[in-house]
Structure 1
Amino acid sequence: MTNKAISGRFRLDVLLRAFATGALFLTGIAGTAQAAGCGTTVRAGQQELIIQSGGLERSAIVFVPANYTGKKKVAVVFDLHGSNSYPKDQLSRSRWDDVAKREGFLVVAPQGGLDGKLAGTHAWNVPGVTAGNGPDDAGFLKDAVETVKAKFCVDAERIYASGYSGGGRMLSQYICNGNGDFAAAGFVMSLRAGYPRQKDGVWLPDNTSCAPPKPVSIIAFWGLKDNTNPFAGGGSPYWQYSGETALKRWAELDGCEGEMKVATGERISYMSFDKCKGGARILSYTIADGSHAWPGKTVGFSLASAADKVSEEVDAATRMWNFFDDSQGKLIADVRAKSDCPDDAIAATSKAGVKGTTCSQPGKPDSNEHMAADAL
């Protein structure tokens, strides 16, 4: 056999091996896409999800809506419980699963790594707050996000999170520590912007303890009668600076332009920054008679119809979902002065983009009020 023939045969063998390797590589890519959850059917309803993290088996509750097919990528909302609580308790409080049923997204309620003060409850190992003993909950959240992306058909650009009380403090610091998993985040009685530090007798966020990797849209809710995490500041050592201070610090971190917009009402007031880098926005509601409880439908958030008239009252989770996934911001809050309506009514605002006046009756106490005292 000639050298030319041998050389030609060698080249053919190389090409065949390269083709085979490429085929295997392409097969590997296809296998990875399949493993990412798209194409796999999952039963609807609540189910437990086991997450391997830090050498431990951790858990979360996942809610899958009935219309989930495993073929179309869907959004995800992570719902972080407060201290002395647990995932199912949080879902019953937030009602995120009810919103997911209507809108067709996944809800993931992870379980904090510390034992709560009450039997069967849990808390979060918040960086800079707890003594550091216990599992790495920041690492767990990262692993939880990756596990959900691997097991379900998820739109990675539409992963959101909300946190109540201790869960919100955990979420705040998670983002502060440089984790960019969430496109937007919601906070109920809980937003922080880094560790508290005192300078010249004034409590402020420590700038060195909060460095998010990108601008993130934030919606926050506060109760002015919340004595656990007071909007005015003070309280426990982990708290100290005010909610308004936290909001203004996030506006700096998000590179927001202009002054904070403020609208004051008898029951609900709001503050907002509408123009921030990367399309981020910041919106905050203070509830005059709100305590340390998740705001329900009776608070006064309202859904504006196409005719710009208030059609129904909604809860905090619905308000958050609209903020997360609808840049038009169709939902508005009650900030109209009392004199615009009868003395026994609460008015929906025109200042937040709704024309005309619509009055609704004052709300009853939230049904989850009894759970607030221990779930911090």
Structure 2
Amino acid sequence: MRLLSATVVLLTLWASPLPASAQSTASACSVTPVNGELRELISGGRKRSYRLFVPPSVAAGTRLPLVFDLHGTGGNAAGHAKTTAFEALAAREGFAVATLQAEDSRWNVPATSTRADDVQYVSDVIDHVAARTCIDLARVHATGFSGGGRMSSLLGCRLNHRIASIGPVGGLRWTGPCPGRAVPVITVHGLADTTNPYEGHGDRGAEWVESVPEALAGWAAHNRCQPKLLQDKPTGPLSSLRYGGCERGAEVQLLRVDGMGHIWPRAEIDASGTIWQFFKTHPLQ
């Protein structure tokens, strides 16, 4: 199948002035290339880590978008970075990537008080990265696979004052009710996924309850979209479904792939490239 090109989403200009709260001072803004290095911090009294990539050849003072990339259950940051290839894409497109690491390789979602507070961890990583490189705090986005997709869904709900948009792959959930702003959502899911079934439910307990269309509808309601789910033509093995007319342009889109299982797709669809094109058009507002 041909890779889904950037035409799936309509690119718009995104150089509008930033809110004062989202700006850092020019004097504190410097960019030093980082080639996928492990960084450590303390979050909630726990030692945590993440993998950071800052592209080379960035003009001094340029504020970079930041993409959080979250591995699936049982995975790790280094392996996931190879799978998604966001770092290679970031080198071409000019953004930073923080590939996050869950404690014991499992994200705390649905959240319980007995495990690490991963929402706070992500907020702390934003601060940790921003203190060390030149980040555009109005363009911080979160994507992830499977359990990482569920976690990025939670971030869209609980941290939407800092996360501009989300792009779960094989793991979209509706974790509402959610406070705060409308959140642009793009998600990719295979109809042949038996780990996180498109139809939902199964034997996963609280980790996998509603179907993907139900989760999509939850986000659409939160974003005050028009109630009708639209399917872009042409139809085929790859379908694009979306809710339009959303508050502040916070569209909700599903890319559904017939016959695709529980994978981060690169042949069926260029998931990384497509998600990045979506992120580019949806800064925090």
| Category of TM-score, reference length = shorter chain | 0.7 to 0.9
Q: Distance between the aligned counterparts of 1:77 and 1:65, measured in 2?
A: 12
Task: Please state if 1:294 is matched with 2:275.
Answer: no
The answer to whether the 8 A contact 1:44-1:68 is kept is no
SS at match of 2:25: helix
Task: Please state if 1:220 is matched with 2:191.
Answer: no
Q: 1:20-35 to 2 correspondence within 5 Å?
A: 33=25
Q: Distance between the aligned counterparts of 1:323 and 1:62, measured in 2?
A: 22
Partner residue in 2 for 1:261:
230
Q: CA deviation at 1:258?
A: 4.7
Task: Please state if 1:242 is matched with 2:211.
Answer: yes
The answer to whether the 8 A contact 2:43-2:121 is kept is yes
Partner residue in 1 for 2:84:
94
The answer to whether the 8 A contact 1:177-1:210 is kept is no
The answer to whether the 8 A contact 2:34-2:53 is kept is yes
- Per-residue CA shift, 1:114-170, capped at 9, x if unaligned? x2xxxxxx1112234xx5433211211111112112211011111111011101111
Q: CA deviation at 1:178?
A: 4.9
Partner residue in 2 for 1:42:
32
Task: Please state if 1:271 is matched with 2:223.
Answer: no
Q: CA deviation at 1:240?
A: 2.1
Q: CA deviation at 1:294?
A: 0.4
The answer to whether the 8 A contact 2:34-2:52 is kept is no
The answer to whether the 8 A contact 2:32-2:56 is kept is no
Q: Distance between the aligned counterparts of 1:178 and 1:58, measured in 2?
A: 19
- Per-residue CA shift, 1:40-87, capped at 9, x if unaligned? x42341112222211222110011111234511111100011110000
Q: What residue ranges of structure 1 are gaps of 5+ in the alignment? A: 1-31, 116-121, 195-208, 302-314, 328-376
The answer to whether the 8 A contact 2:156-2:166 is kept is no
SS at match of 1:48: strand
- Partner residue of 1:193 out of 164, 174, 177: 174
Bigger RCO of structures 1 and 2 (CA < 8 A, at least 6 apart): 2
Partner residue in 2 for 1:341:
none
SS at match of 1:126: coil
Change (3 A) 1:46 1:69: farther
Partner residue in 2 for 1:80:
70
In the comparison of the two structures, how many residue pairs are matched? 256
Q: Distance between the aligned counterparts of 1:153 and 1:323, measured in 2?
A: 22
Q: 1:1-376 to 2 correspondence within 5 Å?
A: 33=25, 36=28, 38-39=29-30, 41-113=31-103, 115=104, 122-128=105-111, 132-194=113-175, 209-235=176-202, 236-237=204-205, 238-263=207-232, 265-296=235-266, 298-299=267-268, 301=269, 315-326=270-281
In the alignment, residue 50 of structure 2 is paired with which amino acid?
Answer: A
Change (3 A) 1:212 1:102: farther
- CA-atom RMSD, angstroms? 1.9
Change (3 A) 1:178 1:212: farther
- Per-residue CA shift, 1:304-324, capped at 9, x if unaligned? xxxxxxxxxxx1010011111
The answer to whether the 8 A contact 1:233-1:241 is kept is yes
Q: Distance between the aligned counterparts of 1:34 and 1:258, measured in 2?
A: 43
Change (3 A) 1:136 1:35: farther
SS at match of 1:83: coil
SS at match of 2:276: helix
Q: Distance between the aligned counterparts of 1:92 and 1:65, measured in 2?
A: 16
The answer to whether the 8 A contact 2:73-2:106 is kept is yes
Deviates more, 1:67-76 or 1:143-152: 67-76
The answer to whether the 8 A contact 1:180-1:212 is kept is no
How many percent of aligned residue pairs carry the same amino acid?
32
TM-score by length of 1: 0.65
Change (3 A) 1:67 1:267: same
Q: Distance between the aligned counterparts of 1:190 and 1:43, measured in 2?
A: 31
Q: Distance between the aligned counterparts of 1:85 and 1:112, measured in 2?
A: 9
SS at match of 1:151: coil
Q: Distance between the aligned counterparts of 1:210 and 1:124, measured in 2?
A: 20
Partner residue in 1 for 2:19:
none
The answer to whether the 8 A contact 2:160-2:183 is kept is no
Q: Distance between the aligned counterparts of 2:34 and 2:74, measured in 1?
A: 28
Q: What residue ranges of structure 2 are gaps of 5+ in the alignment? A: 1-23
In the alignment, residue 124 of structure 1 is paired with which amino acid?
Answer: W
Q: CA deviation at 1:274?
A: 2.6
Q: Distance between the aligned counterparts of 2:263 and 2:255, measured in 1?
A: 14
